[in-house]
Amino acid sequence: MAEAKKILYVQTSGTDTPERLYSPLILAQTARAMGQEATVYFLGMGLKNLVKGEAEKVKIGEFPTLKEVLKQTADQSVELMACQQSMQLFGGEIKSEDLVEEAKVAGAATLNDLALDADAILTF
């Protein structure tokens, strides 16, 4: 059996651009359904998507809320990673305890490692 490919989705868009938020999550779910490994790494303004209470406010068209899609994505074994340095960028406004339970805090070196290891990288 062939080794699973690794796809890294980098989310830099925040809740102020809701039309850009669903794509990496839906694509990561699709990758998992195809037997591939998928990680979504949130940094910069993208980190705001993982703050408790924020994703519930985002809903576009026929899709469920962003919170529901985040949970569905995590339930399919897609890692959702929150950039530790981006938390510092917001001057302590966002702390690890402010993030949804599905998010794992990771540093810049982790993103670099994920990028070096990935077979494909998509940014949103």
Residue 13 in any domain: the answer is yes
> Residue 111: which domain range?
6-123
Residue 1 in any domain: the answer is no
Mean pLDDT, residues 39-68: 96
CATH number at residue 103: 3.40.1260.10
pLDDT bucket at 34, cuts 50 / 70 / 90 = very high
Mean pLDDT, residues 46-68: 96
Q: What is the pTM of this model?
A: 0.95
| Counted domains in the chain | 1
Report the alpha-carbon distance of residue 53 to residue 55 in Å, rounded. 6
* Sequential DSSP letters for 42-88: E-GGGGGGGBTTTGGG---TTS--HHHHHHHHHHTT-EEEEEHHHHH
